[in-house]
Structure 1
Amino acid sequence: MDAVDERPLIERRSVARAGLLETQARTVIERVPAWAGIPQRWGVSPYRGCVHACRGCGARGAHRRLGLDAGRDFDARIVVKANAAVRLERELVAWGGEELAVGVAGDCYQEAEARYRLMPAIVAAAGRAGVPLTVYTKSPLVVRDAGLLARAGVRVAVSIGFVDERIRREVEPGAVSAQARLELVAALAEAGVAVHVLMGPVLPLLSDGADQLEATVRRIAAAGAGGVWPVVLRLPAATRAGFTAWLAERHPGLVERYEQVYDRPGMPAAGYEARIVAQIEALAAACGMAPVGGVRQGKTEPGQLALI
C-alpha cells in the first residue's frame, strides 16, 4: 500500500529552493480582502508570507489554507509564485483596466525578490495592458526599480505606521526602521516616483496618541511623501490569535481593552477608526499633503485569496 503524503498542501505543490517554496500559480489577480483597508479592490502578490514578521499583518490566514501555520511559517516559509508575470500577462488580456494593488499577501520587495526579480516583469506586463499599479512595501529593495517605476507611472505606498523604534522592534521585528523607510520615501520622491505613505497599522492604545500621530505625520511630510493613507490595525482570526498572545505577554492590561475595540471579524470600532483617520487627515493637511485618492473599504466580509 502506498504511503500517504502528509506534507502540507503547499509543499506537495511546490519545489523548495534556497529555503523558499517555489510554485506555479493557477491565477494571480485576487480580490483584496476588507482587512487590508486599502482603496484597491484587486491585487497581485508574487510572494505569500513575509520575512518582515509584522505581528499585525492581516495576510497570515492564507498560510493556514496552505497547510502551514499563521505564525512562524508565515514569517519564514515564503511562497514564490515564479510564473506571476506570465500569468498576469494572460489575465490582463480580459481585464477591464481597474487598478491593482501589488504586495498585499507579502511584501513584493522582500528578500526573495532579490533572487527572483519578478517585479520588473510584473510592472512591464501591467504597462503593456495599460493597467495602473500601486505597490505596497516597506523594503529598501524597491529603490532598485525606482527608474522603472517612475517611467511606468507606478505609485508606491511605503508602510510607516509609527516612528517609535521601540514599538517597531516589538511588532515589526524583521522590517527596517521607520527612519530607513522615511529615507526610502525621500529616495523614491527624488527619483520621480509617485510615492505616498500607508500610515498603518495604527495600534490602538500603543501608537494612537495625539503626539505620536503628529510626530509620525510631520516626519512623513518632511520626507517628501505626496500624502498619507491611514489604516487602523485589523485583526482577522489568524492574526488576532498571535497578536493577542503577544499583548498578553507584553501588555496584559490592554487585552480586555482590545476586546472592546474589535468586533468578531477583527475590524476596529467604526467610531474609533473614524476619529483616528480624521486626526491623521487633518494633520496631513496641516503639513501640506494632499489626500490620497480612492474609496475607503467598508466593513465587509473578508474575501479569500486564491490558495496559490
Structure 2
Amino acid sequence: MDEAFEYCDGLPNGPVRGRGAGLNPGNRFEDVRLHVLGEHLDAVLVEHDAQRQVTTRVLRDQSRTLINYVDPAKSPDIGFRWTINPYRGCEHGCIYCYARPGHEYLGLSSGLDFETTILAKLDAPALLERELDKATWQGEPIVMAGVTDVYQPIEAKLRLTRGLLEVMARCRQPVSLITKNKLILRDLDLLMELAKHDAVHAAVSLTTLDATLAQRMEPRASHPRDRLEAIRQLSAAGVPVTVMAAPIIPGLNDRELPALLKAAAEAGATSAGYVLLRLPYQIKALFLDWLARHYPQRAGKVESFIRQARGGELYEATHGKRMRGEGAMAEQIGDVFRLFRRRYGLTGQRHALSSDAFVRPNRDGQMSLF
C-alpha cells in the first residue's frame, strides 16, 4: 500500500452526507482506542466548510495473489470455495456491512475509514491471468466478491472488475457476481459471452423498495428501481439472476419481503435468498448509532427484535445460526420468505456454473484446454 490518490464523485448536501457510518469506532486490535463521534465530525466539517465535498482516498494494494480459498470446514454455510476481491473497503457505505471489521486488520476503523479509504488491487487482471494459467487450477467457479462490492463507484474509474471479466471471458472461467449497483450493466457484453458457456450467474442485492430507507442505509448504492432494472436487463440478456434480500432487519425492512420478492420476480429473477442482519464486532456500535440518529422513535423496538432473533444478543456467530438467527422472530421471517418465494416462482435452484469450456491462458497469449 504505497500509492494513494483521491477523487470525489459528488457534492453531498450536508456534513458527512452520503456516508453510512456516523463515527469511527476504535480498532479492536489496538490497546488504546479512540472513538470519534459523528457529532464531532460534523462540527469539524462545518468549521472548515468541508461539508460540500467528501473525498475518497484510494490506496494501491500490492497483494501478490488474487484468488482466495474458502475452507468449507471453517465456513460450512458459505456455499462456495473460491473468491476474488479486487477492492478492500466499499464506498457504498452500507451501515450493516459485515465486511467492515476487515479494515481493522489494516490498522483502520470499521466506520468511516471502511467507506472512505479503499484499497485497490490495480494488478488484479494480470494476477488473475497468471493464476488461471497454473496447472493446479481446474476452472472451478469463482465468486466476486466476498468482502466488497466489485461495482462500487470507484470501479467506474479504475475498471478492475471489467479487466477481470475480460480475462474470464477469454478463458471461459465460470464466475458469480453479487452487487447492488447498476454499473454491472456496463459489462453486459462480457456477461453475455460467459453465459454462452453456462459460466456466469448474477445476484442483485435488494434490501428495500423505500428510496428514503435505501439512501440512509446504503447511501452510495444504486436506487432500488435501478437494481430492479439491472435484474430486468441481465435476465433479458440470458444471464441467470438471483435476488438477495439481504440483510433482513427485524422491525425495519422485514415487512417488505413479500413486495421485494414480487418486484424481483416481475423483473426476471428466478431464485431468491435472504440473510438476517449480522453485526459482528464493532458493527454493533455503528448500527445502533445509525439507528438512533435516523429512526429514534423505532430504535428501541428494532434492537429488541434483533435480540429476539439472536438469542438475546445482537449477534451469534455460530455456523447454522449466523445467517438465519434463531427463535420465534427468526422463524417467522424464514416462513414469510419461503411462502412468498414459492408464490412468486423464485424457487429455482441457484444456477450451476459449468467449467467444461474453461481454457487456460498461455504466456504467449494463446489458449489451451485444461
TM-score by length of 1: 0.81
Q: Which amino acid aligns with 2:317?
A: P
Distance 2:219 2:76 in 1: 20
Aligned residue for 1:17, secondary structure, equals strand
1:237 to 281, 287, 290: 281
Corresponding residue number in structure 2 for 1:69: 109
Superposition pairs for residues 55-66 of structure 1, below 5 Å?
Answer: 55-66=95-106
| 213 and 189 in structure 1: CA distance in 2 versus 1, 3 angstrom threshold | same
**Percent of pairs identical after alignment?**
34
Corresponding residue number in structure 1 for 2:92: 52
Q: Which moved more, 1:144-153 or 1:263-272?
A: 263-272
Q: Which amino acid aligns with 1:207?
A: N
| 38 and 229 in structure 1: CA distance in 2 versus 1, 3 angstrom threshold | farther
Tell which has more relative contact order, 1 or 2 (C-alpha 8 A, sep 6+).
Answer: 1
Deviations 1:83-128 (A, max 9, x none): 1122222333223433221022221111221222122332243345
- Please state if 1:15 is matched with 2:19: no
Q: Which moved more, 1:264-273 or 1:23-32?
A: 264-273
Contact 2:151 2:184 in 1 (8 A): yes
Corresponding residue number in structure 2 for 1:149: 191
- Please state if 1:227 is matched with 2:271: yes
How many residue pairs are counted as aligned between the two chains? 281
TM-score by length of 2: 0.69
Corresponding residue number in structure 2 for 1:24: 62
Q: Which moved more, 1:214-223 or 1:237-246?
A: 237-246
Q: Which moved more, 1:14-23 or 1:248-257?
A: 248-257
The root-mean-square deviation of aligned C-alpha atoms, in Å, is: 2.6
Distance 1:39 1:22 in 2: 30
1:181 to 211, 227, 232: 227
Distance 1:27 1:270 in 2: 38
Contact 1:227 1:292 in 2 (8 A): yes
Corresponding residue number in structure 2 for 1:246: 290
Shift of 1:285: 2.2
Contact 2:270 2:345 in 1 (8 A): no
Shift of 1:55: 0.7
1:191 to 215, 237, 240: 237
Deviations 1:151-181 (A, max 9, x none): 1122111110221223212211222221111
Shift of 1:190: 2.2
**Unaligned runs of at least 5 residues, structure 2:** 7-56, 353-370
Q: Which amino acid aligns with 2:337?
A: I
Larger Rg: 2
Distance 1:83 1:255 in 2: 42
Aligned residue for 1:111, secondary structure, equals coil
Q: Which has the higher helix share?
A: 1
Aligned residue for 1:198, secondary structure, equals strand
| 227 and 148 in structure 1: CA distance in 2 versus 1, 3 angstrom threshold | same
- Please state if 1:280 is matched with 2:320: no
Shift of 1:264: 4.1
2:303 to 255, 267, 286: 255
2:325 to 262, 265, 269: 269
- Please state if 1:133 is matched with 2:181: no
| 168 and 292 in structure 1: CA distance in 2 versus 1, 3 angstrom threshold | farther
**Unaligned runs of at least 5 residues, structure 1:** 1-12, 296-308
Corresponding residue number in structure 1 for 2:80: 40
Distance 2:304 2:330 in 1: 18
Corresponding residue number in structure 1 for 2:33: none
Aligned residue for 1:237, secondary structure, equals coil
Deviations 1:184-237 (A, max 9, x none): 11122222222221121111121112xx21111111111111221222221111
Distance 2:290 2:217 in 1: 9
Contact 1:120 1:145 in 2 (8 A): yes
| 101 and 24 in structure 1: CA distance in 2 versus 1, 3 angstrom threshold | same
Q: Which amino acid aligns with 1:116?
A: L
Contact 1:61 1:237 in 2 (8 A): yes
